[in-house]
Amino acid sequence: MKNYLPSLLLLLVSAVGVRAQDKIADAVAGDGKLSTLRSILTSNPALVQLLDDRSYGQRTFLAPSDTAFAKYFANTNNTSAGSNPSQTQMEAMLSYHIMNGSFPASNLTSPGGVAAATFLQDSQYTNLGSGAAGNMVFASRYGNSGEAGAAGKLEVFGGVGDSAPIVRTDIKFGNGFVHVVDDLLSLPQTCTSSMGRLSLTSLLQALDRASLAQKLDTTPGVTCFAPTQEAFTALGNPEGKLSQGELSDALMLHTLGKAAYSPDLKPGTWYPTLANGQNIKVLREGGSLYVTGDGGGKAKVVRGNVIVKNGVMHVIDQVCLLFFFCSGFFVEDGGG
Ligand SMILES: *[C@@H]1O[C@H](CO)[C@@H](O)[C@H](O)[C@H]1NC(C)=O
Ligand SMILES: *[C@@H]1O[C@H](CO)[C@@H](O)[C@H](O)[C@H]1NC(C)=O
Ligand SMILES: *[C@@H]1O[C@H](CO)[C@@H](O)[C@H](O)[C@H]1NC(C)=O
Ligand SMILES: CC(=O)N[C@H]1CO[C@H](CO)[C@@H](O)[C@@H]1O
């Protein structure tokens, strides 16, 4: 009997402890800054079900604060369409705030950051190919590529390069953890609309001229290294000068045939691109992530982990990953 007593007590204590905030509604009841969320949950039983259902594993809810909703509504209610989010849009949006798994703050704050799947499965926002379920988010205290030298605020990165700061952590509920965010995550968009939102105009023109925009937007599971507008300008806007074939090769060299979030990119490793037989290598140096091609040129990731519908985009500061024809085209004596 003596042997069973401690574990029996532990069982009772934990049973009581869990029951207190078992349901999501109870877990968010105690925070004075979550009243908008509470009323949204009341009218969205499907979302409550997604959080409270006990028949599958742990999850982590990024709960938007009243501040987050106020900022969101201030923008969206005033669109030219003038419409508030529908129940379906609200469900899609909040399912993107539910990470699939248990991610206490101690986990999310680890160096390099964490890429995690969410419950956003709506095919309007998610096309990662077979085997994958919900689209992803990236959480980090070390900036959008997880590489900053010093720890800053903990943020979650979603669609179109937007991020949401986590302002309160580790509220427990029956199925995992709740962290409060002060912005809503933007839903992932296609590669090309994300590029538009980030003003990557020359890149869009290049994709258009090479007739690759459609392919890039619809292939399930891609990583796109997207050069900035400044990178194209610095090279004299090659998007208007190269032939369609050359542009196509150049763009394919900037694209991997699977989604690789920054934690998946291992330094010193070569990754096959969609350009035939050509690989690019990832480097980490001085608080930044770089990609380099066979020619040795080096592009720095200036905005990592922009989540897109069919994968991820990392914005880089150079057009040329020094593929052979690029140096051949721009340097008089030819590069190979
Ligand atoms: C925007 O729409 C939401 C949802 O219908 C509503 O709750 C909110 O009060 C509106 N906000 C503004 C500023 O109009
Ligand atoms: C964070 O959680 C994931 C998924 O549970 C796990 O694979 C990973 O090892 C954890 N990392 C840390 C630093 O705890
Ligand atoms: C959540 O993760 C589990 C375990 O990896 C997986 O079986 C399930 O399909 C995932 N669900 C979603 C909605 O991603
Ligand atoms: C459609 C809509 O919500 N319009 C509002 C936009 O913002 C102005 C100023 O705050 C309001 O007066 C409008 O009603």
Q: How far is the CA of 57 from the centre of ligand 3 (A)?
A: 8
Q: Average pLDDT for residues 64-68, to the nearest whole number?
A: 97
Q: How are beta strands 279-285 and 270-272 bridged, if at all?
A: antiparallel
Q: Is residue 11 part of a domain?
A: no
**Above 60 in pLDDT, residue 322?**
no
Q: Is the dihedral of CA 13, 16, 21, 23 positive or negative?
A: positive
Both 315 and 174 in a single domain? no
pTM: 0.85
Which tops the pLDDT comparison, 14 or 281?
A: 281
Substitution site in 73, 78, 87 for ligand 1 pocket (most atoms within 8 Å of beta carbon): 73
Structure token digits, residue 226? 């997207």
Q: Is residue 3 part of a domain?
A: no
**Above 60 in pLDDT, residue 127?**
yes
pLDDT at 85: 76
Q: Is residue 292 part of a domain?
A: yes
Strands (E), the chain: 59-64, 98-100, 114-117, 136-140, 155-157, 163-173, 176-181, 222-227, 255-256, 270-272, 279-285, 288-292, 298-308, 311-316
Backbone angles phi, psi at 102, to 5 degrees: -95, 110
Confidence category of residue 262, pLDDT binned at 50, 70, 90? very high
Substitution site in 66, 77, 86, 94 for ligand 1 pocket (most atoms within 8 Å of beta carbon): 77
Both 21 and 163 in a single domain? yes
Cβ 84 under 6 angstroms from ligand 1: yes
Both 277 and 217 in a single domain? yes
Whose Cα sits closest to atom 4 in ligand 4?
A: 78
User: Domain containing 37 — which CATH number?
Assistant: 2.30.180.10
Both 127 and 236 in a single domain? no
Q: Among residues 158, 181, 204, which one ends one of the domains?
A: 181
Split into its structural domains, the chain has a count of 2
Substitution site in 56, 61, 127 for ligand 3 pocket (most atoms within 8 Å of beta carbon): 56
Q: How many helices (H) and strands (E) does the chain have?
A: 13, 14
Which of 156, 131, 197 lies closest to 305, judged by CA? Answer: 156
Q: How far is the CA of 322 from the centre of ligand 2 (A)?
A: 36
To which residue do tokens 């340097």 refer? Answer: 331
Cβ 78 under 6 angstroms from ligand 4: yes
To which residue do tokens 């610095």 refer? Answer: 234
The total number of residues shown for the chain amounts to: 336
Q: Is residue 174 part of a domain?
A: yes
For residue 14, how many C-alpha atoms fall within 13 Å in the half-sphere facing its CB?
7
**Above 80 in pLDDT, residue 21?**
no
Which tops the pLDDT comparison, 322 or 141?
A: 141
Both 72 and 92 in a single domain? yes
Both 247 and 114 in a single domain? no
User: What is each CA distance from 251 to 31, 247, 256, 278, 291, in whole angstroms?
Assistant: 48, 6, 10, 12, 14
Both 32 and 168 in a single domain? yes
Q: pLDDT tens digits, residue range 88-97? A: 889 999 999 9
Q: How far is the CA of 104 from the centre of ligand 4 (A)?
A: 39
Q: How far is the CA of 72 from the centre of ligand 1 (A)?
A: 9
Buried b (16+ CB within 10 A) or exposed e, 152-182: eebbbbbbbbbbbebbbeebebbbbbbbbbb
Which residue range(s) make up the domain with 227? 191-330
Both 221 and 131 in a single domain? no
Contact (Cβ atoms closer than 8 angstroms) between residue 61 and residue 177: yes
Q: pLDDT tens digits, residue range 207-249? A: 999 999 999 999 999 999 999 999 999 888 888 888 899 889 8
Cβ 104 under 6 angstroms from ligand 2: no
CA gap 109, 311 in Å, rounded: 23
Q: Among residues 148, 181, 214, which one ends one of the domains?
A: 181
Both 223 and 291 in a single domain? yes
Both 169 and 31 in a single domain? yes
Both 202 and 295 in a single domain? yes
